[in-house]
């Protein structure tokens, strides 16, 4: 374990770990959007910015991508940090004025008015959905496309996400809740990726519980017996 301090409080970080996970484990709150412990840190939202003092030198760093180092001092609430955090929130709000979570965050930081040109986007481009899709699910259905101010999170060739298994992981993980899913009859649709898949029904209770395509993929990957998914989760246990 690597000892260092956050806001004067002594903490211990895991070898190869980052500041943010250590802080969250120690119960120190650092606002963040694009970080999720089940995927690799990416440093997209910049909201988890902190001041890191090492060898008497201070610098600003995104705490999710900054590795823990012995003896460094991390400050999460200095004037400089708060000012930067406020600015970042204001910029995200200017990009996505409709997002409830961002609105609340901005309000909490005392942002009454956005000074920048407002855009009509809803996605904050944190990339969490794509990272979960790649690293956890392994479906590789979506990713960033284009660059700079035209950057977008879309399925390849902008149409239906043909690799999507409609598992809904991106729906759950999206911090601003803009990826929606709907289930109608035996069909599940991930609206944002224009993907609709037929669901399988449980042999006992008859409820539709998961998309066929997804179950077939899982069976193939985990080498499960053919009848493994004949029953839904509730009926199996």
Partner 1 sequence: MTHSEIEAITERYENRESAILSMLQDIQAKEKYLPQEALERLGEKLGIPMNKIYRIATFYRAFSLTPKGQHEVCVCIGTACHVRGAQRVVDQINLELGIRPGETTKDRNFTLETVNCLGVCAAGPVAAIDGQYFGKMSPAKVGGTLKKFRSDKKKKEGANGKA
Q: What minimum distance in Å lies between the beta carbon of 80 and partner 1?
A: 33
Q: What minimum distance in Å lies between the beta carbon of 43 and partner 1?
A: 17
Q: Is 214 in the site for partner 1 (CB under 8 A)?
A: no
Stretch that binds partner 1, among 65-73, 78-86, 138-146, 198-206 (CB under 8 A): 138-146
Residue with tokens 């399925």: 155
Q: Is 160 in the site for partner 1 (CB under 8 A)?
A: no
Burial of 132 (0-12, 13-18, 19+ CB in 10 A): buried
Phi, psi (5° rounding) for residue 25?
Answer: -65, -35
Q: Is 157 in the site for partner 1 (CB under 8 A)?
A: yes
Pair 22, 91: CB distance under 8 Å: no
d(CA 237, CA 234): 6
Q: Is 141 in the site for partner 1 (CB under 8 A)?
A: yes
d(CA 144, CA 150): 10
Q: Is 156 in the site for partner 1 (CB under 8 A)?
A: yes
Q: Is 167 in the site for partner 1 (CB under 8 A)?
A: no
Q: What minimum distance in Å lies between the beta carbon of 99 and partner 1?
A: 24
Q: Candidates 145, 181, 231, 235: give the one binding partner 1 (CB under 8 A).
A: 145
Q: Candidates 147, 221, 223, 226: give the one binding partner 1 (CB under 8 A).
A: 147
CA angle 183, 196, 42 (to 5 degrees): 95
Phi, psi (5° rounding) for residue 6?
Answer: -120, 125
By CB under 8 A, the residues from 118 to 137 that bind partner 1 are: 130, 134
Q: What minimum distance in Å lies between the beta carbon of 130 and partner 1?
A: 7
Q: Which of 237, 232, 185, 183 is nearest to 209 (CA)?
A: 232
Q: Which residues bind partner 1 (CB under 8 A)?
A: 130, 134, 140-147, 155-157, 162-163
């Amino acid at each position: 374990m690597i000892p260092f301090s956050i806001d004067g409080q002594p903490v211990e970080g895991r070898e190869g770990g980052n500041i943010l996970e250590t802080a969250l484990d120690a119960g120190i709150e650092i606002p963040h959007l694009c970080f999720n412990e089940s995927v690799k840190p990416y440093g997209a939202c910049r909201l988890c910015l902190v001041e890191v003092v090492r060898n008497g030198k201070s610098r600003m760093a995104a705490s999710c991508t900054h590795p823990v180092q012995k003896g460094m001092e991390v400050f999460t609430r200095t004037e400089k940090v708060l000012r930067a955090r406020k600015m970042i929130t204001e910029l995200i709000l200017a990009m996505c004025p409709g997002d409830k979570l961002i609105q609340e965050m901005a309000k909490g930081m005392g942002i009454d008015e956005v000074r920048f040109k407002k855009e009509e986007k809803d996605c904050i481009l944190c990339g969490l959905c794509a990272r979960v899709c790649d690293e956890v699910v392994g479906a590789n259905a979506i990713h960033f496309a284009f660059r700079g101010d035209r950057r977008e999170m879309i399925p390849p060739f902008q149409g239906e996400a043909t690799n999507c298994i409609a598992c809904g992981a991106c729906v759950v993980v999206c911090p601003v809740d803009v990826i929606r899913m709907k289930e109608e009859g035996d069909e599940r649709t991930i609206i944002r990726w224009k993907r609709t898949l037929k669901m399988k029904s449980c042999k006992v209770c008859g409820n539709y519980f998961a998309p066929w395509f997804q179950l077939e993929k899982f069976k193939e990957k985990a080498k499960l017996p053919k009848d493994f998914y004949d029953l839904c989760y509730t009926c199996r246990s």
